[in-house]
Amino acid sequence: MQDEAAFLQAMEEHPEDDSLRLAFADWLEARGDPRGELTRLLHALTRSTEVADRGALEDRLRGLVAAGVRPVGPFWANALGMQFAWVPAGTFRMGRRETEDRSLLNWPQHTVTLTRGFWLAVHEVTQASWQAVTGENPSRHKGKKRPVEQVSWDDCQEFLRALGERDGQAYRLPTEAEWEYACRAGTTTAFFFGETISTDRANFDGTSPDDDAEGPRVSRRKTTLVGSFPPNALGLHDMHGNVAEWCQDWDAPYAAGEAVDPRGPAAGKERALRGGSYEASATHLRSAARFAMAPSVRLSLFGFRPVRTPPGPAPAADAGWGTSPP
C-alpha cells in the first residue's frame, strides 16, 4: 500500500490483523512519523506481561502521548456519529500492585488474556446520543456533549438494545477485564499517564487529601464535556474520572490464577463500575480501582461507554474470575 488512507481502510476492514498494523507502523516510521513508534510500542506492551525494559518502554509510550502523538486506530463511527477505537487482543496484569491500596476488591493481581479484540467507544455516551435513541435526557448536568448520567445498568441495556436495532450492529457493555485493559493501554502504573494524577488530566475531586493527586486542588463538582482531557495510547478519553462507567459483570472478588476472557460470575446483587467520577478522590480513579452498585441505581455520577461486538462467535458467557471459558 502506498498511502495512509489505504492502510486505514484496510485496518478498519481487518482490525484483528496485527501484521497489517505493524506494516503501517513500518510505513510511518520510514517517513519519520512518530505514530509508527507509538503503534509498535503499544503492540509490544500488550502482547505479554514479560517485556524487557518494560519501564523504559512505558515511559516512552507516555512521553509520545503527552507530546500529542495520537494513535492510528483503526477507528469506526456508527450512524449516530459515536466513534469507536479498536482495542487489540492481548495480555495484561489486572488488579492492584503490592504497593497500591488494598481497598475496592482489586486484589490479587493476576494475569488476564483477552483472546479477541473489540471496538470500544472513544467517549462516554453523550446526552445527545442518549436523547437521539430514547427521546429523553435524564441527566442532572445538562449539555449535549456532556456524558449522560443518572442512568442505571438496566437503562444502559435498553439503550444498547435500541441502538443496535437502529443501526444493525450489536452492542454491549465492556467486561471489567476489557475495561481495565483498555484503560491501561499497555501501562502498569496507577494511571495510564503515570503514578499520579492531576485535575488538568481528568475530572475528579482534587480537593480531597490524596497522595495520588498533584497540582492545583480543584473540584469542578459537575461533569465536563467528553474529550476535554487528553486520550490514552488507544485514543480513549475520560477513562479516569468524569462519570463512573457501568461494566457488564456482576461484582465478585478476584480469584487467584491466570484468567482467559473473564466475564464475572453468573449471578449476583451488584454490577461493576469503573473509572471513578467527578466527585471521586484520585485513589478511586486508578486503573485497578473498582466498586459496584445494584443495577437499578441511578446517580449523576454514573454513565457508560459501549463495546461494538465484532462479527463471529462471542466469548463464553459468565466464565468467572480467575477461570477460563469451557
What pLDDT, on a 0 to 100 scale, did the predictor assign at position 103?
59
Residues 6+ apart with CB under 8 A from 200: 215, 216, 229
Is there a domain that residue 304 lies in?
A: yes
Q: Which residue has the cell 463500575?
A: 273
Phi-psi region of 197 (alpha: psi -120 to 50; beta: other; left: phi over 0): beta
- Asked if the structure places residue 251 within a domain, the reply is yes
- Work out how many domains the chain is built from and give that number: 2
Task: Name the pLDDT band for 217 (thresholds 50, 70, 90).
Answer: confident
**Are residues 109 and 50 both part of a single domain?**
no
What is the pLDDT at residue 48? 95
Q: Tell me whether residue 226 is in a domain.
A: yes
Whether 205 has a pLDDT exceeding 70, the answer reads: yes
Same domain, 43 and 151: no
Query: What is the rounded CA–CA span in Å between residue 25 and residue 40?
Result: 6
What span, in angstroms and rounded, lies between the C-alpha atoms of 67 and 44? 20
Q: What pLDDT does 185 receive? A: 98
Say yes or no: 105 and 169 in one domain: yes
Same domain, 103 and 241: yes
User: What is the per-residue pLDDT for 312?
Assistant: 55
Residues 65 and 156 in one domain: no
Domain assignment of residue 324, yes or no: no
Contact 263, 315 (CB under 8 A): yes
Q: Torsions phi, psi of 111, nearest 5? A: -85, 130
Q: Are residues 171 and 287 in the same domain?
A: yes
- Residue 324 pLDDT grade (very low, low, confident, very high; cuts 50, 70, 90): very low
More confident residue, 269 or 322: 269
Does residue 179 carry a pLDDT above 50?
A: yes
C-alpha angle with apex 207: 201 to 209, nearest 5 degrees?
105
Mean pLDDT of 306-320: 62
CA 74 – CA 81 distance, rounded (Å): 15
Same domain, 277 and 131: yes
pLDDT tens-digit profile of 133-167? Answer: 999 999 999 999 999 999 999 999 999 999 999 99
Q: Are strands 197-198 and 213-214 parallel, antiparallel or unpaired?
A: parallel
The runs of H, that is alpha helices, within 93-126 are none
Over residues 263-282, mean pLDDT: 95
Please tell me whether residues 40 and 82 are part of one structural domain: no
Q: Say if 34 falls within a structural domain.
A: yes
Share of the chain above pLDDT 90, in %: 84
Per the rule left: phi > 0, alpha: psi between -120 and 50, beta: everything else, 87 is: beta
In a domain, 137, yes or no: yes
Both 127 and 261 in one domain: the answer is: yes
Q: Which residues contact 228 (CB under 8 A, 6 or more apart)?
A: 203, 237, 238
8-state DSSP, 24: H
- Domain containing 48 equals 1-72
Q: What's the whole-number mean pLDDT along residues 219-243? A: 97
Average pLDDT over residues 16-22: 95
70-105 pLDDT tens trace: 999 999 999 999 999 999 999 999 998 877 765 556
Same domain? For 47 and 90 the reply is: no
Same domain, 67 and 96: no
Residues 243 and 287 in one domain: yes
In a domain, 317, yes or no: no
pLDDT tier for residue 320 given thresholds of 50, 70 and 90? very low
Q: What is the CA radius of gyration of the chain?
A: 19
Q: What is the CATH number of the domain that holds 126?
A: 3.90.1580.10
Residues 18, 189, 301, 223, CA torsion sign? negative
Which pLDDT belongs to residue 108? Answer: 87
* Short-list 297, 286, 307, CA closest to 149: 297
Chain mean pLDDT for the chain: 92
